[in-house]
């Protein structure tokens, strides 16, 4: 599997914790349907005022299509200074260190 990691982060003023979980449940359900998405980990740092996520996609093409779509969606929410990076995943090494990827 040629899996690809996609990382998003951006400035945010909240909500945080349980309030974030409640506010973004519908968005999470929508993201779960993204083509090629294997999993997403939601990230938040109230101290630095940042939110984002780490996504694992089946391949680079699906990760890139999602990056383009999600960047536009975040911008439509009024979010600026969006940072998105993609990385190839070294599956054999990640499997050794218990990364949630298929070896």
The domain segmentation of the chain, as residue ranges, is 4-96
Q: Check residue 2 and give its pLDDT.
A: 86
What is the spatial distance between Cα 28 and Cα 13, in angstroms, rounded to a whole number? 19
Q: For residue 34, what pLDDT is reported? A: 98
For the cut 60, the answer to whether the pLDDT of residue 27 exceeds it is yes
Tell me what pLDDT residue 103 has: 53
Distance, in Å, from the CA atom of 1 to the CA atom of 23, rounded to the nearest integer, reads: 34
pLDDT digits (tens, 9 = 90+) for 62-76: 999 999 999 999 999
Per CATH, the number for 4-96 is: 3.30.70.100
Average pLDDT over residues 70-95: 95
């Amino acid at each position: 599997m040629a899996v690809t990691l996609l990382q998003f982060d951006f400035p945010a003023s909240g909500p945080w914790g349980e309030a974030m979980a409640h506010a973004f449940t519908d968005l999470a359900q929508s993201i779960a349907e993204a083509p090629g998405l294997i999993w997403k980990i939601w990230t938040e740092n109230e101290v630095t005022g940042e939110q984002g996520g780490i996504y694992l996609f089946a391949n680079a093409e699906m990760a890139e299509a999602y990056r383009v779509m999600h960047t536009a969606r975040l911008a439509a929410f009024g979010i600026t200074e969006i940072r998105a990076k993609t990385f190839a995943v070294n599956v054999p090494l990640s499997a050794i260190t218990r990364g949630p990827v298929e070896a």
